[in-house]
Amino acid sequence: MVKTKTQVLLDSVRRLSRRQAVVHLSNILEKSHPVDIADIIRYLTDSEKRMVFGLIKDAEKAAEILSELDVSDSVHLLAGMTEEQISNILREMSSDDAAELISNLPEEIANRVLMLMEKEDQKEVEDLLQYEEKTAGRIMTTEVFALREETTAGDTIKAIQKNAEAEMVFYIYVVDERDHPVGVVSLRQLVVVPPETRLLDIMTTDIISVTTDMDQEEVARVVERYNFLAVPVVDDKNRLMGIITVDDIIDVLREEATEDFMKMAGTKEEEYVYHDKVTRVAKLRLPWLITNLFGGLVTGYLMWLFKVTIKDMLALITFIPVITGMGGNVGVQSSSIMVRGFATGKVDFTRVKQFLTREILVGLLMGLCCGIVVGCVGYLWHRSFILGIVVGVSMMGSMTVAATMGTLVPTFFRKIHVDPAIASGPFVTTSNDIVGILIYLGFATLMMNYFHLIG
């Protein structure tokens, strides 16, 4: 099998690390791209990570590597460095990336690092830290390129040349005397007009902006909807405070998707942080498993309540795993659709009724198909027409209810401002097990008088 570039670099770094060949390892790292180095760091042991990162002497390159890593890995790497070294690296990062890292450092270290930073950089980071986590204000960069309406195209190009370090110069934001954004000009527009043309005459006045307190997930939807490379951020007085670029949006989408999947599985993203700490990982997973445990006990108690029915019709036991399993699967399917729909903006409260109707009909149709199949199996297996009817009808009812609950439960959580992702996985599966048992054994109890037909 042909090795990828990352695999070749990883093998080389591991081999040289074991041999303590520092000089050769430094040469390889010096020639490698920061993204490739960040890629292999994820697969190294803690000691190898610190050794490799410690050999990166260029602060700018070290900053690029940290920007590509998860925050947990970045903080771990910085933990073995002095405050001055950390300050030198953060100085080379964009203000939003630096603020994210500082917010995750121990408070006393973070304060000392801030004090060592240049006053301008320090103020930018402190301004960002004032905003709530996971809001537009926290992830924006304040290095925004903005000019007044009367500025000419020629002067704008000169200004871009002088400020090439600005985060995003594909868009030139136009502001008035109160720093309110009044227009935007693309770089393409700028270079095709005569130098004396004013920005006022070529700017687009229909500006789509986000507020500093907007949730980062909502910001991602705005950028995704309008296909922006960057979106301006304004405060409550409509003053331009910064911009959020598409690379930050990609990070947000990845982070939010990971968070949702983790919640649906009944755990948290911190598992990646504590990948080598068995006790901590177990603590993260236990709450949902305890929920499942009690759900299982409730299911067992319900079966005990129907012990007379089960005793008289022992063949019912055969299909309990099928009824509960299929109901749980359908519930997870429906809830997953709703959770991702809410997360991506494809589902809102105005469309819940439409989705609910669809899921009920889908559950009914799938339940009918599966009910016919399992009903026939029940009849052929136990030679009982009534048992076939009980199993088939129960399967149809269980799957329809499961689809309904899978739609309504995430909607309820969303309504009370709780992340609907927690409604999936263990929660829906456990609740549908209970409902499935109630439907199955309840209907069987009603049909008891007819079971004398069992051969």
- Per-residue pLDDT of 75-97, as tens digits, reads 889 987 899 999 999 989 988 88
User: Would you tell me how many other CB atoms lie within 10 Å of the CB of residue 424?
Assistant: 29
pLDDT category, 454, cuts 50, 70, 90? Answer: very low
266-295: per-residue pLDDT in tens?
655 555 555 556 776 677 677 777 877 888
User: Is residue 356 over pLDDT 80?
Assistant: yes
Provide the pLDDT for residue 3.
Answer: 66
pLDDT of residue 290: 81
List Cβ neighbours of 135 (8 Å cut-off, separation of 6 or more). 212, 213, 214, 215, 216
Q: Are strands 171-175 and 181-186 parallel, antiparallel or unpaired?
A: antiparallel
Averaged over 384-393, what is the pLDDT? 90
What does the pLDDT read at residue 271?
53
* CA angle (205, 208, 209) in 5-degree steps: 120
Cβ-count burial of 162 within 10 angstroms (0-12 exposed, 13-18 middle, 19+ buried)? Answer: exposed
pTM of the full structure = 0.71
pLDDT at 263 over 90: no
Q: Which domains can be identified in the chain, with CATH numbers?
A: 5-135 (1.25.60.10), 146-258 (3.10.580.10), 270-453 (1.10.357.20)
What's residue 349's pLDDT?
87
The model's confidence at residue 424, banded by pLDDT at 50, 70 and 90, is low
pLDDT value at 326 more than 50 = yes
- Count of residues making up the chain: 455
